[in-house]
Structure 1
Amino acid sequence: MAVKDDIARIQSGIRNPLDRRAIGAKQLVAVIGDSPSRYSKSPALWNAAFRALKMKTVYVALDVDDDRLQDLIAAVRESGRLLGLQVTVPHKVAVMKHLDAIDEKAAKVGAVNTITRMEDGRLLGANTDGEGFVQSLLAGQPGGAAPLIESLSGINALILGAGGSARAVAFALAERLEQGRLLISNRTHESAASLAAEIGKSHANVEAIDEKKILERAPGVELIVNCTTKGQGGIRKNGAGITTLEPYSALGPANPAGLTEDGGPEFYRACMSASLADIEANNRASWKLALSIPLKAGFYDLIYHPEETVFLRHGRLTGHRTLNGRGMIVAQAVEAFCSHICRDALRRAGMDNPETRAKLLEVMAKAW
């Protein structure tokens, strides 16, 4: 496919315009999702890594609607300049049917966050979320902070959510809790039950609980992980229009009003006004629950924008240790870079080694 046609087809599958640097690049890597151009840190991390390794590659964010996903993947398949993709919400599950192969870990998780394009155009799916989560949880954080959890062996954990990221986290935890118990709660209980049943085929001590049971069961856990979008900054779609979930905590129910117009200077004010009663109810429920959870429990939020969500703030102010998703994003990005999307390029350059991984961890953490 000619370069001009190549870019035109990619552009036709996304909402945000490609910039001049991306259009002129000989090699591209991209993140696809609903609106990663608004919030994703991945371009800054990956582009810093490319500069550090002197690779002439550009990383871009692509905003992709559900009904354009198939067309975009087809364009990526035919584009010789795309090395691969990272995938974020809400496409981690939906994208799988458009790929040529899925590795064992991603198939078990049932979600893909990394796609490698082979030279013949085949697209291979993988999932690095679970590995990134565990590394960020157990390793010291950038700046010398102590790990949130010293060991996962024997602890009880609660996961909030049952989507693509939650699936990766749930399987990663189940493999390491040993005699500990894994609880999964989701707004739609059937989704939590389905995930628990899948994990239960290979790991014992997994249970789905209704949201109404969280207050009863949470005091018995040592780790709570938010894998929902409650608390995430930015604008999101809901059944009634568009809204924001930033004022909400993952520890309470959220039923925000939807507005019909996007992005004006009064948008957030209008959202707060329309959803004020619901936000207040959510925050009261969250405070009550946070106060009931023993101090030994750690609060982990996969969200990194804002850096401190309502969930994490309530955890911190009730004396708990807290951690956001920054470390996970960095760790999973390094895994995706070295083991999947850029693996062949690193091998050709003689840089496929532990030293490169360590360098990229440092470079990406600083680029945050």
Structure 2
Amino acid sequence: MVKTCSLQDVVTNQLDARATSSQWLAGIVGENPSKYAKSPSIWNPVLQAIGLDAFYSPFDVASANLAAFVEAVRQDQRMKGFSVTMPYKTAIIPLLDELDGRAKSIGAVNVVVRRKDGRLVGANTDGSGGLASLTTPLSAEGEPFIRQLQGSRVLLIGSGGAGKALAWYLAEAIGAGTLYVANRSRSSGDELCRSIRSVNPTAVYVESNAIGITARKVDLVVNATTVGQSGVRLLTEGRVICLEPYSPLVNSNPAQVRAAAGQDPRSVYEACYRDSLLDIQNNNLRSASLMTQVPASVRFLDIVYSPLETTLLRQARLSGHQTLNGKGMNICQAADALFHWVFQSHFEEAGRYETTTYRSIVERMCSVW
């Protein structure tokens, strides 16, 4: 057995001591999930509640080390699996041994299961989680955000990993409705529309500069990009950008700021904000103006959950629209990944692979959020 320290060798964050002392290990891999990911704080209480000696850890992995990380997971017999977040949902696919059917169609992975023989199988729960957050209340007392998607007109912004997953599930759910896909890269947006026309022939690509016009004629707008998300995005040569102040309804061009290793995050934020101020003001003003032209009946879902109210959702709420953040989607996709994938074998062996167990996991994740 390769010791857990082999994982420490390929991640940039310091692993918690419980990552080495627990019988089983799982986690989330991305560029820097230790800085923003909610998953550890909702997975670990569930693992503790079900009495499983397991720990869920964030794994910050540089792109150059992604293959080495996957190999370390393959060799570590304590690893049950891991979640995948930006920007590796598609990049990780060639490194896996197998994809389940839906992940293969989507072309993106957000959870990987390690089989007993070390084989790694990729799956995707983003789409099912997103759909569940729209149509199923998280608590027994709650009301669904949307009661019926059949026949709806939906504008989906973004065709990355989460966008692809949502596109497939929404395309099926809306039936005779229309799905509009907006993306800055036309080739990526067109490719996604072509792929999902097998389940919904109405899928239409929309240029990013036509998002505002399209939003006026749909029932639901979904932001599946990282625009509005807290934190900074790492670029090349030590440069970063911050997308948190922006709305995805309008194109943006945030300043690239050089960030030194160990630099105070507050000074990085300040530099990003100062150097991007004119662009932020332009983006926000144009987005707010477009929002006032969108009928109040149009609802807005932003899959971002940090912050809980993004610029998009704040503008939508203040202009009279109903809004939903990414909390529900994050919980539902996490519950699906934990129950149906990473620890499925444990629940089956314990005779607890049943609906009541799944529902208790969702409720527990909601309570500790």
TM-score scaled by length of structure 1:
0.96
CA deviations over 1:16-64 (Å, ceiling 9, x no partner): 0112111222210110011110111110111011111011000000011
1:135 & 1:63 partners in 2: Cα distance? 28
1:328 & 1:345 partners in 2: Cα distance? 24
Displacement after TM superposition at 1:266 (Å): 2.1
Of residues 213, 230, 255 in structure 2, which corresponds to 1:233? 230
Q: SS where residue 304 of structure 1 aligns? A: coil
**What's the counterpart of residue 255 of structure 1?**
253
Find out whether 1:299 has 2:300 as its counterpart. yes
Displacement after TM superposition at 1:215 (Å): 2.1
One-letter amino acid of the structure 2 residue matched with residue 223 of structure 1: L
Find out whether 1:133 has 2:134 as its counterpart. no
2:309 & 2:213 partners in 1: Cα distance? 25
1:10 & 1:230 partners in 2: Cα distance? 30
CA deviations over 1:155-177 (Å, ceiling 9, x no partner): 10001101000000000000011
**What's the counterpart of residue 64 of structure 1?**
61
Gap regions ≥5 residues in structure 1: none
Report the RMSD for the aligned CA atoms in angstroms: 1.3
Q: SS where residue 140 of structure 1 aligns? A: coil
Mapping 1:1-368, distance limit 5 Å = 1-2=1-2, 6-142=3-139, 144-238=141-235, 241-262=239-260, 263-264=263-264, 265-368=266-369
One-letter amino acid of the structure 1 residue matched with residue 280 of structure 2: I
One-letter amino acid of the structure 2 residue matched with residue 256 of structure 1: P
Residues 155, 222 of structure 1: 8 Å contact kept: yes
Q: SS where residue 27 of structure 2 aligns? A: strand
2:49 & 2:16 partners in 1: Cα distance? 22
* C-alpha spacing 1:211/1:239, structure 2 compared with 1 (3 Å): farther
Displacement after TM superposition at 1:146 (Å): 2.4
2:312 & 2:138 partners in 1: Cα distance? 20
1:310 & 1:332 partners in 2: Cα distance? 24
Gap regions ≥5 residues in structure 2: none
- Please, which moves more after superposition, 286-295 or 76-85? 286-295
One-letter amino acid of the structure 2 residue matched with residue 213 of structure 1: A
The count of corresponding residues between Structure 1 and Structure 2 is 365
Residues 230, 254 of structure 1: 8 Å contact kept: no
Displacement after TM superposition at 1:348 (Å): 1.2
One-letter amino acid of the structure 2 residue matched with residue 348 of structure 1: E
Residues 185, 192 of structure 1: 8 Å contact kept: yes
* C-alpha spacing 1:69/1:214, structure 2 compared with 1 (3 Å): same
Residues 29, 85 of structure 2: 8 Å contact kept: yes
CA deviations over 1:208-244 (Å, ceiling 9, x no partner): 0101112222100010000111100011124681121
TM-score scaled by length of structure 2:
0.96
